[in-house]
């Protein structure tokens, strides 16, 4: 049995879909307040539903009973509810889940984190603390550190509006990023289960090529046959936003935008030898969203 924390989220739900397709039994950790349609979708995949919350240690202990592995994609950054903070979810909640998995006798813990940034911000500090705790836990661990999800960063939610030919670029737009699809990250998580190549490893994950944001815009322009309206957000403005942010989450969002502005290129050759996943390119994504 495999427990998925964050099962109703973008990445977690895709992991559940892949496990169902592979015929692997899995348990989805969902809140009592979770979207009922998302829970119903998980049930239609054959998921065993465990009601719980990362902020409730007793519920984590119950959810972990009888599981062989845990995959955690949970975070406070998107599906925020009252009481959710980086401290309570991304730090304390994840630490509690690791400890509950250990106490329940799970054999493997797969943590989805993100690729390290030279910029310090609260979310990264929490992720780093959880990674270190997992390494010391005695559990067999796999830590996945993906770079920017193209479905998130190249979407209207973050100013990349391909439908209307507009793109908001953080920083100069010249630094390359190994954009990755969340679907490919889900594949890596599933491939890591009971895989000796993934045993006690930290894997930075990226897509098949490094492309600057401006090169990404060019791909969309060529496919759509029109020029995009580009708006830059200077790094100086992002630094000021980070320094004046009123709370850790706002500070972290500014930190993530600075991470994007700085670029992050991942060499995937060795990882793909160990976990052979067919990577999605930005062009593939752009063509699928014409």
Neighbouring C-alpha atoms within 13 Å toward the C-beta of 46: 14
Q: For residue range 205-242, what is the model confidence (pLDDT) as tens digits?
A: 999 999 999 999 999 999 999 999 999 999 999 999 99
Copy the structure tokens of residue 37: 């349609």
> What was the pLDDT predicted at 81?
72
> What was the pLDDT predicted at 80?
66
Give residue for tokens 């993906």. Answer: 146
Nearest alpha-carbon partner for 268 in 193, 187, 153? 187
> What was the pLDDT predicted at 122?
93
> What was the pLDDT predicted at 69?
97
Copy the structure tokens of residue 159: 């100013």
Q: Which residues of the chain have pLDDT under 50?
A: none
Give residue for tokens 């999605």. Answer: 280
Q: How far apart are CA 123 and CA 232, in angstroms?
A: 24
Q: What is the pTM of this model?
A: 0.94
Q: How far apart are CA 54 and CA 31, in angstroms?
A: 9
């Amino acid at each position: 049995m495999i427990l998925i924390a964050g099962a109703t989220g973008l990445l977690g739900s895709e992991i559940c879909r892949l496990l169902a397709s592979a015929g692997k039994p899995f348990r989805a950790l969902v809140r009592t307040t979770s979207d009922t349609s998302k829970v119903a979708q998980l049930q239609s995949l054959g998921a065993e539903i465990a009601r719980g919350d990362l902020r409730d240690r007793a519920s984590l202990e119950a959810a972990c009973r009888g599981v062989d592995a845990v995959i955690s994609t949970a975070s406070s950054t998107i599906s925020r509810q009252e009481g959710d903070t980086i401290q309570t979810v991304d730090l304390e909640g994840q630490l509690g889940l690791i400890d509950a998995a250990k106490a329940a006798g799970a054999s493997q813990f797969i943590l989805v984190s993100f690729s390290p940034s030279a910029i310090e911000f609260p979310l990264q500090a929490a992720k780093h603390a959880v990674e270190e705790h997992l390494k010391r836990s005695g559990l067999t661990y796999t830590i996945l550190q993906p770079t920017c999800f193209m479905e998130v960063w190249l979407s209207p939610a973050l100013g990349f509006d391909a439908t209307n030919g507009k793109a908001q670029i953080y920083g100069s737009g010249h630094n390359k990023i190994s954009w990755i699809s969340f679907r490919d990250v889900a594949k890596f998580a599933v491939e890591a289960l009971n895989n000796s190549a993934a045993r006690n490893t930290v894997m930075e994950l990226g897509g098949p090529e490094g492309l600057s944001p401006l090169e990404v815009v060019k791909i969309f322009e060529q496919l759509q046959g029109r020029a995009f309206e580009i708006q830059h957000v200077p790094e100086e403005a992002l630094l000021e936003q980070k320094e004046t942010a009123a709370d850790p989450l706002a500070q972290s969002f500014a930190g993530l935008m600075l991470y994007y502005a700085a670029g992050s290129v991942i060499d995937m050759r060795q990882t793909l030898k160990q976990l052979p996943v067919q990577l999605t390119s930005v062009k593939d994504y752009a063509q699928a969203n014409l």
